[in-house]
Amino acid sequence: MRSVFSLLAAVAALAPVTAASPVDEWDVLAGKALVNQIRYHATNPNASETCTPFNATPRREWGSLSKKERREYIDAALCLASKPSKSDPSFAPGARNRHDDFVAVHINQTMFIHSTGNFLTWHRYFTWAYEQALRNECGYTGAQPYWAWNKYADDPVNSPIFDGSDYSLSGNGAFVPHNSTEAAPGIFLRPGNGGGCVTSGPFVNFTVNLGPVMPSLKVPGLKAQNGTGLNYNPRCLRRDISKQAAQWTTTKSVVDLIVNETDIWDYETVMQGDFPRGFLGLHSGGHYTIGGDPGGDFYASPADPAFFLHHAGIDRAFWTWQNQKPAERTYVVNGPTILPGIVPSPPNATLDDIVDMSAALAAPKTIRELLDTTGGPFCYVYL
């Protein structure tokens, strides 16, 4: 493992990347972040004694995995969707499997985990809980991979994630004529070449059981459930992969966010999008690159297995930002505790607020416990 970190230290010491260089600028920033995290861990008296950046599990980008490694992740995800639900039927009557348990919790807490001070830590913990379920319930021995959107922003449908091969997360949906998508108030995306059920790859017969709650895909017959969105509503996995949405996830978008935003709330709000300015941001840009149903649903998006690669990417960007200056940026939080506009003057989030997603997923933790990927319940870094 030390040889891996020595290599990353060398990458971090590279001269500034030029336009002609094959080196990915986000990868360079991540290499620097890892070196900084190693140094911070060595000098921080409160650092974990059992987890260090040297023995932490490295999370890697999907395209860098071997076909065997990709298939092991795919098989574990399909396995989890074959296991019976652990949710209380009175809470999520439509949940039929363990994958649904994650979708149900996200639907239920959506208003409290977006544009809020806990957004980054909640989704970090949620993605980790999914990784642990793959490991503990389906025998997965790898780490949660991430989607480096910037590597494929020019042609997402032919990326190793969405090319429809046996080693992808399945591809686009069949073409169904449909109208444009309003990705955010006043931000419209042109109809893509999909809209129907996915036609190839390992998730071609994957069943979505919950939602939709706020469907963005405009195809005949797809409409929001009445009530909570937690009732049983089986249907196929639809995608409408959008190159237009992917333009918010370019290398420049990622690097500008990490380099230019120095305050946690500024970082988080720019990353999630500045909709009045017509700016979709990395978070929404990634979701609407997937599009479809449930990928384009604000509430039910985790029902598409690609959600977890997307949010591991969001977590890698956050981790990279934190570890540019870990002493200043590891234990910081700001923002309201509920989606703005729902209630007047909600309290601000604090480090001691509890993240309690569900006993079926993970134990309650404070935001403070979820801010260091080599502390709290975590022990991972990003390559």
With beta carbons less than 8 A apart as the criterion, state whether 80 and 99 touch: yes
Residue corresponding to tokens 């059920």: 197
- Say whether pLDDT at 74 is over 70: yes
Portion of the chain with pLDDT greater than 90, in percent: 87
Q: Are strands 181-184 and 187-189 parallel, antiparallel or unpaired?
A: antiparallel
pTM of the model: 0.95
Q: What domains can you pick out in the chain, each with its CATH number?
A: 25-382 (1.10.1280.10)
Query: What pLDDT digit, counting tens, does each position of 297-353 carry?
Result: 999 999 999 999 999 999 999 999 999 999 999 999 999 999 988 888 899 999 999
Residues 6+ apart with CB under 8 A from 41: 47, 48, 52, 53, 374
Residue corresponding to tokens 């910081």: 332
At residue 343, the pLDDT reads: 87
- Tell me the torsion sign for CA atoms 216, 221, 223, 225: negative
What are the tokens at 365? 């933790």
At residue 16, the pLDDT reads: 44
Over residues 94-117, the mean pLDDT reads 97
Over residues 81-85, the mean pLDDT reads 98
Quote the distance between the C-alpha of residue 140 and its chain's center. Answer: 19
- Say whether pLDDT at 85 is over 80: yes
What is the three-class DSSP state of 73?
Answer: helix
Single-letter residue type at 116:
T
Query: What pLDDT digit, counting tens, does each position of 46-69 carry?
Result: 899 899 999 999 999 999 999 999
Residue corresponding to tokens 């999008």: 273
- Say whether pLDDT at 359 is over 90: no
Beta strand extents in the chain (DSSP E only): 57-59, 173-175, 181-184, 187-189, 195-198, 207-208, 235-236, 354-355, 365-366, 380-382
Q: Considering all CA atoms of the chain, what is the largest pairwise distance in Å, rounded to the nearest integer?
A: 59
With beta carbons less than 8 A apart as the criterion, state whether 5 and 38 touch: yes
At residue 42, the pLDDT reads: 95
